[in-house]
Chain A
């Protein structure tokens, strides 16, 4: 479980996140949704410690993460996996080496065990016969899946995904969403996903928070989102023509 309390973050005096408090639950896919520039990525990067926050607390179980020094953060970070918007695979390493990288750095395993784990992770995300390819030779969907394989290589307790299906076609996007959901249940991880894709919200949104201009405006799940009376959320959810049409039909 991850608890965020009264989190505030600003850049050059401009508030980007204001008094965000939320609890992300274990074994569930927790979604942070909102328009581009609403502060989703800043919130996610603040939670994982890539941004220093001005005030507020970030708890990983019973540990106050944002007050730890680099050394102590390392222990919790070894339990994190993250999928970045652009996959962030290391260009100079092959698929196999990318997935093996965290194992080389932190795992107490011999070469055979590492190889076995790499192959297991790649198979789990349906990457077959691509071990020797470089990231530049992969499609967008394959890159995301390799990045997921790298993220789960060390059996993380926490998985963070920053817009996991941006730039993907709808079918591949659904496959990635389903994969993240399956892995979350399989490993009982606390998963936090940033997205503005309503398909993802309706597919895997077990817990959802909506952020607008750095402020948390709404919290609920995928069943409640369509009946909310939060105006800014409704503007976001029913932004496209199809959604508006469905809504007017339902009304």
Chain B
């Protein structure tokens, strides 16, 4: 318990350092643009591919498990849409990003720590926590919602393609299903979750990397911890946010 509280205290103190006034806004702006590319744009591919196939599988599974003639066929499209919006695009995509982005952040900052690059920043009088972590936080907080929207669109598209190619639903039925009883608030709910998850992934991973001590072995361990802790926190906050936002 004391260990947990100590770590939590260090995490809060790190965040305090991260959110202090930037030294030079122009340099931070450039750094943020670089992180948009490193952490955001490079994630579009994997999110699109996984979303496409997840949408396809959800559609096929819904179709094969609802063969009762009482159920209208368009419910397959509705099921695909709601699954993609409510859960996949935010939570599952966040777990994927915890693996890709989280390990990347922890490894990058951890390597900078063990090779004394962070010490070099401190010697120059630069707030290293803010310089290294704030641009990553801004980039993921702004870009991950875009990834969520991409995941929703591509996933539903994948569901439509798979459903029609497999002959389990017609295009008209699928489109009717994805329009049927649409609740726009679900998108807001999904985007709120995405922003919270983006904060968890980036801050927890950066924390793991920033306090690495030792060498390459410890950097590897920090990367693993970043992914594990981020994933557990994402699942925990998924429950909390769902209760808060949908009850």
A contact set with B: CB distance below 8 Å: 45, 48-50, 70, 73-75, 77-78, 80-82, 84-86, 88-91, 101-102, 104-106, 160
Residues of B within 8 A of A45 (CB): 119
Contact residues of B between 115 and 171, Cβ < 8 Å to A: 115-117, 119-120, 122-127
B39–chain A nearest beta-carbon distance, Å: 13
Residues of A within 8 A of B124 (CB): 77-78, 80, 101-102, 105-106
Known: A105-B24, A105-B27. A88 touches B126 (CB 8 A): no
The 3 closest A-B pairs by CB, nearest first: A77-B125, A74-B125, A88-B116
| B23 & A105 in contact (Cβ 8 Å cutoff) | yes
| A50 & B119 in contact (Cβ 8 Å cutoff) | yes
| A105 & B120 in contact (Cβ 8 Å cutoff) | no
Contact residues of B between 23 and 46, Cβ < 8 Å to A: 23-24, 26-27
Which chain A residue shows the least CB distance to B123?
Answer: A82
Known: A105-B24, A105-B27. A86 touches B123 (CB 8 A): no
| A104 & B27 in contact (Cβ 8 Å cutoff) | yes
Residues of B within 8 A of A85 (CB): 116
Most buried by A among B26, B115, B116, B125: B125
| B123 & A91 in contact (Cβ 8 Å cutoff) | no
A58 CA / B122 CA spacing, docked (Å): 17
A151 CA / B65 CA spacing, docked (Å): 67
- B interface residues, tally (CB under 8 Å): 17
B108–chain A nearest beta-carbon distance, Å: 8
Known: A86-B115, A88-B115, A105-B24. A50 touches B120 (CB 8 A): no
A30–chain B nearest beta-carbon distance, Å: 17
Which chain B residue shows the least CB distance to A79?
Answer: B125
Residues of B within 8 A of A74 (CB): 125
Residues of A within 8 A of B120 (CB): 82, 84, 88, 90
Residues of B within 8 A of A106 (CB): 23-24, 124-125
| B123 & A50 in contact (Cβ 8 Å cutoff) | yes
A121 CA / B58 CA spacing, docked (Å): 61
A160 CA / B112 CA spacing, docked (Å): 19
Residues of B within 8 A of A105 (CB): 23-24, 27, 124, 126
Known: A104-B24, A105-B23, A105-B24. A80 touches B123 (CB 8 A): yes
Residues of A within 8 A of B125 (CB): 73-75, 77-78, 106
A85 CA / B120 CA spacing, docked (Å): 11
A82 CA / B124 CA spacing, docked (Å): 9
A247–chain B nearest beta-carbon distance, Å: 36
A80 CA / B24 CA spacing, docked (Å): 19
A78–chain B nearest beta-carbon distance, Å: 5
